[in-house]
């Protein structure tokens, strides 16, 4: 990954700070690791501020900022389809990795807003990139990127693929009820992508790459956040429906739980984390989780003020922003966590 040339703004926990027990790996057989080789994004050009929204629905900038932290969102124009944005983000991730479409064995695209029921948006991206291999979509709402990462990790570790594009791309503007102030102010459009490359490690927490993923779902809560119909570009309007308070409660609880299990599985204390990169739904959720982890705000990547909630795209977008401004540096430990409709939730730990 071609990381920023600026020195890190913060003191990062470099590999030499890793607990001694993580270094006793000399005699361990090599294990395959999925290495985060490149990151990219695409955001629609059109930006809608809170004030602009307040002209069409009974809301105001103060309520949105104080209850969510959101200041603006990017909204896709007709040509900015799920596939279009995903392709742009994927091209940026490949360029960032110094890779080409020829290095791609698989494309896994997380979205809740595909352009069509089928073919999968990932296959459209494959054609646009001129890539070979195989491509498919993953549907896990706002947790989709973590789910897709987990699947990509399995393909790489079992030797089924050496280079995998993992993309989150969403056009929630097409499934929002623009008369419902309880939901339409919360979401935005955009895409983020990472390119994962096969690498090797010792099977310890000192390894570079994806160290773990943990996934969960509970269909008993399927009715607190859902879309009431089909979502493709040519379908009749379908709308997102949410019981915000209930989802909020589950988000804090389950994201905290899955963060704890991720840290425990790797033998890490919360202090090992350089960057918490949570799903970007509500600043109050992010703050509550950061507080539980005893992480100061300087160790949490926040983009929801600029992007609002972009569902499966929010984590790769946040990764891309943090890379572009030089916050991400080699050796750092990233903790990713999300919760979304399903309910689905999960976490991932990555060392850069």
Q: Give catalytic residue positions.
A: 142, 279, 309
The distance of closest approach from Cβ of residue 143 to ligand UT7 in the complex, given in angstroms and rounded to an integer, is: 9
Give the residue carrying structure tokens 């930006």: 47
Distance separating alpha carbons of residues 239 and 234, to the nearest angstrom:
14
Distance separating alpha carbons of residues 343 and 93, to the nearest angstrom:
29
Give the burial class of 20: count Cβ atoms within 10 A of its Cβ; 0-12 exposed, 13-18 middle, 19 or more buried: exposed
DSSP per-residue letters across 165-198 = EEEEEEEGGGT--TT-HHHHTTB-EEEEEEEEEE
CA 55 to chain centre: 31
Residue nearest to ligand UT7 (CB): 244
The distance of closest approach from Cβ of residue 159 to ligand UT7 in the complex, given in angstroms and rounded to an integer, is: 34
The distance of closest approach from Cβ of residue 324 to ligand UT7 in the complex, given in angstroms and rounded to an integer, is: 23
The distance of closest approach from Cβ of residue 82 to ligand UT7 in the complex, given in angstroms and rounded to an integer, is: 17
Nearer to ligand UT7, 134 or 248 (CB): 248
Phi, psi of 349 (to 5 degrees): -120, 130
Nearer to ligand UT7, 293 or 337 (CB): 337
The distance of closest approach from Cβ of residue 297 to ligand UT7 in the complex, given in angstroms and rounded to an integer, is: 19
Nearer to ligand UT7, 26 or 58 (CB): 58
Is-cis flag, bond preceding 48, omega within 30? Answer: no
Nearer to ligand UT7, 161 or 186 (CB): 186
Give the residue carrying structure tokens 């700070």: 17
- For the chain, the 3-state helix, strand and coil shares in percent, each to the nearest 5, are 35, 25, 40
Distance separating alpha carbons of residues 214 and 123, to the nearest angstrom:
26
Nearer to ligand UT7, 63 or 134 (CB): 63
Radius of gyration of the chain (CA): 19
The distance of closest approach from Cβ of residue 5 to ligand UT7 in the complex, given in angstroms and rounded to an integer, is: 34
Nearer to ligand UT7, 39 or 308 (CB): 308
Phi, psi of 73 (to 5 degrees): -145, 155
The distance of closest approach from Cβ of residue 180 to ligand UT7 in the complex, given in angstroms and rounded to an integer, is: 9
Q: Using the 8-state DSSP alphabet, how is residue 103 labeled?
A: G
Where do contacts with ligand UT7 occur on this chain (CB under 6 A)? 59, 63-64, 67-68, 142, 181-182, 185-186, 244-245, 247-248, 251, 281-282, 285, 309, 339-340
Nearer to ligand UT7, 64 or 82 (CB): 64
Burial annotation 253-283 (CB, 10 A radius, 16+ → b, else e): ebbbebbeebbeebebebebbbbbbbbbbbb
Q: How far is CA 168 from CA 33, 253, 297, 334, in A?
A: 21, 24, 25, 18
Residues 6+ apart with CB under 8 A from 198: 32, 33, 34, 35, 156, 161, 162, 163
């Amino acid at each position: 990954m071609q990381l920023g040339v600026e020195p890190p703004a913060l003191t990062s926990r470099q590999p030499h700070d890793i607990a001694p027990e993580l270094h006793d790996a000399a005699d361990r057989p090599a294990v395959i690791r999925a290495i985060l080789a490149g990151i990219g994004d695409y955001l629609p050009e059109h930006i809608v501020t809170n004030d602009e929204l307040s002209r069409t629905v009974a809301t105001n900038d103060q309520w949105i900022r104080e209850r969510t932290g959101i200041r603006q969102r990017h909204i896709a124009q007709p040509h900015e389809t799920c596939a279009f944005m995903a392709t742009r983000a994927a091209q940026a991730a490949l360029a960032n990795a110094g890779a080409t479409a020829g290095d791609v064995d698989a494309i896994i695209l997380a979205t809740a807003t595909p352009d069509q029921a089928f073919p999968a948006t990932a296959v459209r991206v494959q054609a646009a990139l001129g890539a070979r291999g195989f491509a498919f979509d993953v549907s896990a709402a706002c947790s989709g990127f973590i789910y897709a990462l987990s699947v990509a990790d399995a393909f790489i570790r079992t030797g089924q693929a050496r280079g995998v594009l993992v993309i989150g791309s969403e056009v929630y503007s097409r499934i929002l009820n623009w008369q419902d102030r309880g939901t339409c102010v919360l979401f935005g459009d955009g895409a983020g992508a990472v390119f994962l490359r096969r690498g090797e490690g010792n099977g310890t927490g000192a390894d570079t790459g994806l160290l773990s993923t943990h996934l969960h779902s509970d269909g008993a809560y399927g009715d607190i956040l859902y879309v009431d119909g089909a979502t493709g570009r040519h379908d009749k309007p379908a709308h997102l429906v949410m019981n915000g308070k209930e989802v909020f409660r589950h988000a804090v609880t389950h994201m905290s739980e899955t963060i704890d299990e991720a840290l425990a599985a790797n033998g890490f204390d919360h202090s090992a984390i350089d960057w918490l990169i949570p799903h970007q739904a509500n600043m109050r959720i992010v703050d509550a989780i950061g507080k539980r982890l005893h992480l100061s705000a300087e160790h949490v990547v926040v983009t929801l003020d600029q992007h609002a909630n972009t569902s499966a795209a929010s984590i790769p977008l946040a990764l891309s922003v943090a890379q572009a401004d030089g916050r991400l540096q080699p050796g750092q430990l990233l903790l990713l966590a999300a919760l979304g409709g399903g309910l689905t939730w999960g976490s991932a730990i990555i060392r850069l």
